């Protein structure tokens, strides 16, 4: 039996260290309904986990020095150690980021063995066969995800598990490529788009996207299921509403029986009638019908396990024990926390509980210090009586459920209590959320107290999680901006954990969009703090790019215009690497550099990006299928426009720009290993216009430097241009090339340029 988390997009069974879970009728990304959904819907370590920390959280980046000179926001010098730390930490963080990966055939086979068809499933199957598209909508926990998986897997007469299902990212921007690119439209391809948690800002956006998807798959051999946000069907146009079948929740008792059947010995497998009798006779199982289907499947597998461990045990007893344990695991401890705090008129217990929950696994002395900072941020009135007249700190920790032993890191006695306490604080004290942000910004304080990097990283990730749950993603982003501005390099591990957590949640549609939007806004700030900019560059290239490549390239291109040369250089390197890896990336970056949006317009960084893309070696490099930029007609117009834009900029070109032009014009033969006959191919235009532009390049460069390419230029630029054109024409037709360039008044010596050209 495969672990239930292997059904999670991006989950790796090899990383699993927690108890075995069943492959429910509902895939594990189906959210539980009712109280405690945020904590109960997913297995430990997945989704809204409270204590998420990566191996790189305590890497010690805070001990790597960096010097600061001038404006702290723009002139920070990033030492090699700082940059290496950022890269290493992001590499580690990326390993735990969930991705909307394909659903494997093995996973589909596992699910098909326990899947119970809901009413209306046949109608949905008919729609996807006829239109290649089906739209599904339902309440969380009712098996809508499992139905979508099975519909797509079985479309076209395929057997479930014979092919995998590709997942389409939920959030898109105007710069993104289509949901299903034409190059990816293989025969019998299957796709799933989960929009259940990413409601667009306008219903028109949703309708437009669905219509585009319908047009892509219509009449093809491809199949697509889209899971819509709840209650969104009524806003769809009539032609799209016809693609939404009426489906009900499967019989939960049948789901229980199907899971028991695959988890027990064949001789002991109960039939559905037996299951119904057991449920009717047991008052303890009466509320099982209100559980999510994921909880029902867990009860079945746990019951079968108990039967195997206890020879002679009765199935009803095992079902009751399993249901009691599942409820305990999924409990949000809300009533227990209410009882704990109801007699606390001073608020001190609530204050300590919130602090301990946010700093779970931290040294208890840090908890003591942090609670006083929270009191100041929230304007609590601390008791005036002397500390010796109040219960000891350890006794107070024991009152809120913290284990009292010799271990200094605090932990709660009950599993999941810290997560529940954090949820409780953000849900029940909405007016204190600004105070929580103020408190987070104060940490680490007071001065002189050592705060380990891993403690701050876990705090930042937990703060991010709660901010996303309460739709306050900006709080987490503001915290990262504040910490990096105040603590500089020491804040890198915590800020990386925070930003990675936000982007990670976005893979499931809960927070990543706002984080990507903020990173885009930061990328347009050319004076953004250098450390923060460097982190955003790495996050864009290594995390955002995996799901939204064009969004990542947009942000990286914007950072190429940053005032800090090290930041700009890192962005240019990243853009060049990613653009060279894929022809669509190449066209996109090339087009963006020529269009020069306001974020990069007129910048040296934009010119550098263009010049790297049109280097001779890049133009003639072939990809795996033989494509070359120089042969692409779509790139041809962009080459000419880019050269004119770069060289007619208001500011003089940099030495690096001139050097690249020099290489491009004069060293192209050596770069590509071919003869001079390749020159007409460098600009994909009419023959005469190519060389007209070449002559313009030399003339324009002559305005900015005395010796543009090692030769003096005459003051009359028009004459220089005419001379170069004549010389090129003579070369093309094999005529005498012994022309002399126009010279300054009184100059009777031939230009070195002419001599060098004659030698060629």
| Contacts with 728 (C-beta within 8 Å, 6 or more apart), sequence order | 691, 694, 695
200 domain residue, yes or no: yes
Per residue in 713-731, pLDDT (tens digit) is 445 555 655 665 565 556 5
Q: How far are the Cα atoms of 209, 221, 466 from residue 123, in angstroms, in the given order?
A: 23, 20, 40
**Per-residue model confidence (pLDDT) at position 588:** 92
pLDDT for res 687: 36
Of the ranges 330-334, 507-511, 523-527, the best mean pLDDT one? 523-527
What is the model's pLDDT at position 635?
81
Domain count of the fold of the chain: 4
DSSP letter at 333 equals -
Predicted local confidence at residue 572, as pLDDT: 93
**Cα–Cα distance measured from residue 704 to residue 658, given in angstroms and rounded to the nearest whole number:** 10
Within-domain flag for 733: yes
- Output the pLDDT for position 729: 57
Neighbours of 427 (CB within 10 A): 14
Report the pLDDT averaged over residues 182-190: 59
Q: Are residues 231 and 264 in the same domain?
A: no
More confident residue, 237 or 29: 237
Output 462 or 348, whichever has higher pLDDT. 462
pLDDT value at position 478? 93
Buried b (16+ CB within 10 A) or exposed e, 652-687: ebeeebbebbebbbeebeebbeeeeebbbbbbbbee
Determine the 3-state secondary structure of 192 from DSSP. strand
pLDDT value of residue 202: 66
| Position 696 pLDDT exceeds 70 | no
Confidence at residue 32, expressed as pLDDT on a 0 to 100 scale: 38
Average the pLDDT over each of 118-122, 271-275, 405-409, 752-756 and give the range with the smallest value: 752-756
- Last residue of some domain: 241, 265, 283? 241
Under the banding of pLDDT at 50, 70 and 90, the label for residue 7 is: very low
Please report, for the domain that includes residue 121, its CATH number. Answer: 3.40.50
Last residue of one domain, picked from the residues 424, 451, 478: 451
**Higher-confidence residue: 706 or 595?**
595
Residue 310 has pLDDT above 50, yes or no: yes
pLDDT band at residue 503 under the 50/70/90 scheme: confident
| % pLDDT > 90, the chain | 11
Once rounded to an integer, what is the mean pLDDT over residues 676-690?
40
pLDDT band at residue 103, thresholds of 50, 70 and 90? Answer: confident
| Structural domain harbouring 142 | 117-241
The two three-digit tokens of residue 175, written as one number = 């710069």
Q: In whole angstroms, give the CA distance from residue 128 to residue 499.
A: 39
pLDDT higher than threshold 70 for residue 333: yes
Q: Where is the domain boundary, 300, 330, 360?
A: 330
Highest mean pLDDT range out of 260-264, 289-293, 487-491, 574-578? 574-578
Question: CA-to-CA distance for 26 and 24, rounded, in angstroms?
Answer: 5
Longest dimension (CA), the chain: 115
Split at pLDDT 50, 70, 90, the class of 178 is low
Q: Comparing 124 with 701, which gets the higher pLDDT?
A: 124
Q: What is the model's pLDDT at position 590?
A: 92
Asked if residue 4 has pLDDT above 50, the reply is no
Strands of the 166-168 sheet, one edge to the other: 133-136, 223-227, 190-194, 166-168
* pLDDT in the model for residue 554: 93
The whole-number pLDDT of residue 179 equals: 55
Do the domain assignments include residue 224?
A: yes
pLDDT digits (tens, 9 = 90+) for 593-615: 988 888 888 788 888 898 888 87
Do 282 and 386 belong to one domain? no
At 481, the pLDDT band (50, 70, 90 cuts) reads very high
Asked if residue 375 and residue 293 are part of one domain, the reply reads no
Asked whether residue 658 is domain-assigned, the answer is: yes
Does residue 443 sit within a domain?
yes
Distance CA 614, CA 595 (A): 16
454: Cα separation from own chain's centroid: 22
340-379 pLDDT, tens digit each? 887 777 778 888 889 999 999 888 888 888 888 888 888 8
Per-residue confidence (pLDDT) for residue 365, from 0 to 100:
86
Reported for 46-49, long-range contacts at CB under 8 A and 24+ positions apart, including other chains, are: 46/5, 46/8, 46/11, 46/98, 47/508, 48/419, 48/465, 48/469, 49/419, 49/465
348 shares a domain with 399: yes
One domain, residues 141 and 217: yes
Say how many CA atoms lie within 13 Å of 721 toward its Cβ: 13
Tell me: pLDDT of 502 over 80. yes
* Mean pLDDT, range 536-553, rounded to an integer: 88
> What six digits make up the tokens of 384?
């005036």
- At 377-410, the pLDDT tens digits run 888 776 555 454 466 778 888 888 888 777 788 8
- Are both 309 and 323 inside the same structural domain? yes
**283 and 368 co-located in one domain:** no
Q: Tokens 């347009």 — which residue?
A: 524
Average pLDDT (471-497) is 88
Q: From CA 550, how far away is CA 537, in angstroms rounded?
A: 14
Q: Could you tell me the pLDDT band of residue 25, with boundaries at 50, 70 and 90?
A: low
Which residue would you say has higher pLDDT here, 579 or 52? Answer: 579
Q: Are residues 209 and 309 in the same domain?
A: no
Q: What is the pLDDT of residue 51?
A: 31
In a domain, 529, yes or no: no
Compute the mean pLDDT over every residue in the chain, rounded to the nearest whole number: 71
Buried b (16+ CB within 10 A) or exposed e, 234-253: eebeeebeebbbebebbbbb
In a domain, 609, yes or no: no
Q: Is position 677 within any domain?
A: yes
State yes or no: pLDDT of 315 exceeds 90. Answer: no
426 and 444 in a single domain? The answer is yes
Average pLDDT of the residues in 733-756: 43
Give strand ranges (E) for 222-334: 223-227
Q: Is the pLDDT of residue 94 over 60?
A: no
Q: Please tell me whether residues 344 and 403 are part of one structural domain.
A: yes
Same domain (yes/no): 660, 702: yes
| Same domain assignment for residues 216 and 282 | no
- 220 or 648: whose pLDDT is higher? 220
pLDDT at residue 13 in the model: 33
């Amino acid at each position: 039996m495969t672990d239930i988390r292997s059904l999670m997009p991006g989950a790796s069974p090899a990383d699993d260290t927690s108890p075995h879970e069943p492959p429910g009728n509902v895939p594990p990304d189906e959210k539980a309904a009712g109280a405690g959904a945020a904590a109960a819907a997913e297995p430990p370590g997945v989704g809204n986990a409270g204590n998420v920390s990566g191996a790189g959280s305590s890497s010690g980046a805070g001990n790597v020095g960096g010097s600061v000179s001038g404006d702290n926001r723009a002139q920070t010098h990033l030492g090699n150690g700082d940059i290496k730390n950022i890269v290493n930490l992001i590499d580690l963080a990326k390993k735990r980021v969930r991705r909307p990966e394909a659903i494997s055939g093995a996973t589909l086979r596992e699910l098909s063995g326990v899947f119970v068809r809901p009413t209306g499933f046949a109608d949905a199957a008919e729609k996807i066969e006829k239109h290649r598209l089906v739209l599904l909508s339902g309440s969380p926990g009712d098996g809508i995800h499992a139905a979508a998986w099975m519909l797509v897997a079985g479309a076209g007469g395929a057997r479930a598990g014979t092919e995998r299902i590709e997942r389409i990212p939920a959030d898109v921007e105007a710069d993104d490529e289509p949901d299903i690119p034409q190059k990816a439209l293989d025969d019998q391809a299957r796709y799933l788009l989960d929009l259940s948690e990413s409601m667009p800002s306008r219903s028109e956006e949703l309708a437009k996207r669905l219509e585009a998807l319908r047009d892509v798959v219509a009449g093809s051999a491809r199949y697509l299921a889209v899971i819509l946000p709840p209650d969104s069907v009524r806003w769809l146009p009539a032609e799209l509403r016809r693609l939404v079948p009426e489906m009900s929740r499967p019989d939960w008792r049948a789901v229980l029986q199907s899971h028991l059947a695959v988890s027990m010995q064949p001789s002991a497998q109960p039939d559905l009638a037996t299951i119904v009798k057991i449920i009717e006779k047991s008052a303890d199982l009466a509320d099982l019908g209100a559980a999510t289907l994921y909880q029902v499947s867990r009860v079945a597998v746990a019951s079968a396990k108990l039967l195997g461990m206890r020879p002679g045990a009765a199935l009803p007893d095992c079902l009751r024990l399993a249901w009691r344990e599942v409820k305990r695991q999924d409990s949000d401890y809300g009533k227990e926390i209410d009882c704990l705090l109801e007699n606390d008129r001073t608020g001190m217990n609530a204050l300590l509980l919130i602090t301990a929950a946010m700093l779970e696994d931290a040294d208890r002395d840090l908890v003591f210090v942090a609670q006083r900072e929270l009191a100041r941020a929230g304007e609590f009135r601390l008791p005036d009586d002397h500390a010796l007249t109040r219960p000891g700190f350890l006794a107070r920790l024991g009152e809120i459920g913290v284990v009292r032993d010799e271990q200094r890191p605090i932990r709660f006695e009950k599993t999941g209590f810290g997560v529940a306490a954090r949820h409780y604080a953000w849900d029940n004290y909405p007016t204190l959320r600004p105070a929580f942000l103020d408190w987070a910004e104060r940490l680490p304080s007071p001065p002189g107290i050592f705060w380990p990097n891993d403690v701050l990283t876990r705090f930042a990730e937990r703060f991010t999680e709660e901010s996303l749950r309460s739709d306050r993603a900006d709080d987490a982003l503001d915290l990262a901006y504040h910490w990096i501005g105040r603590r500089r390099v020491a804040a890198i591990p915590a800020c990386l954990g925070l930003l990675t957590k936000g982007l990670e949640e976005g893979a499931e549609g809960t927070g990543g969009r706002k984080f990507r939007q903020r990173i885009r806004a930061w990328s347009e700030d050319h004076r953004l703090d250098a450390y923060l900019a460097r982190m955003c560059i790495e996050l864009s290239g290594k995390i955002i790019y995996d799901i939204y490549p064009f969004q990542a390239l947009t942000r990286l291109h914007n950072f190429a215009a940053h005032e800090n040369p090290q930041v700009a250089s890192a962005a240019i390197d990243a853009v060049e690497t990613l653009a060279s890896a894929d022809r669509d990336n190449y066209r996109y970056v090339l087009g963006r550099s020529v269009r020069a949006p306001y974020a990069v317009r007129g910048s040296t960084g934009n010119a550098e990006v263009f010049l790297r893309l049109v280097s001779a070696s890049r133009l003639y490099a072939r990809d795996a299928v033989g494509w070359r930029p120089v042969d692409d007609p779509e790139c041809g117009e962009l080459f000419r426009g880019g050269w004119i834009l770069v060289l007619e900029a208001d500011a003089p070109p940099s030495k690096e720009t001139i050097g690249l032009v020099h290489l491009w014009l004069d060293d192209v033969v050596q770069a590509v290993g071919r003869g001079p006959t390749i020159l007409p191919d460098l600009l994909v235009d009419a023959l005469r216009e190519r060389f007209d532009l070449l002559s313009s390049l030399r003339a324009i460069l002559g305005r900015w430097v005395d010796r543009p390419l090692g030769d003096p230029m005459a003051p009359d630029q028009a004459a220089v241009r005419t001379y170069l054109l004549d010389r090129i024409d003579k070369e093309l037709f094999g005529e005498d090339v012994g022309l002399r360039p126009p010279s300054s008044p009184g100059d009777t010596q031939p230009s070195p340029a002419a001599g060098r050209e004659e030698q060629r």
